[in-house]
Amino acid sequence: MGSPEEVLAARRVKSSLNLAGNKDKFMVESSKMRVVRSLDASGLVCPEPLMLVRAELRTMDSGELLSITATDPSTSRDLNNFCRFMGHSLESESSDNAIWVFVLRKG
């Protein structure tokens, strides 16, 4: 599958995405993604998740992936608009039981 870092990152994201019920889909995608960092914005409401994402992205290199877990439904809209405006890419988005998991690639 890849280096030990890629395997560990895939396991971290896999466990996050299992909460969202996309186990099979993620197992296919995980071999293509190398999540560098994870951010838990659960329990926070707009604009807090987006502010944390923005701060985290500032410390990352272009092309690196960030996994975000959130519970505020508006985070989906906010991240889509943020990525479009700032030149980032929303690689995946899933939700289940009021838990959203996003994987964002820094532009």
Q: What is the set of active-site residues?
A: 46
Residue 59: partners with Cβ closer than 8 Å, 6 or more residues away: none
* 60 CB neighbour count, 10 Å cutoff: 15
Q: Provide the β-strand partners of residue 101.
A: 69, 94
Q: Residue 39 has which token pair?
A: 């951010």
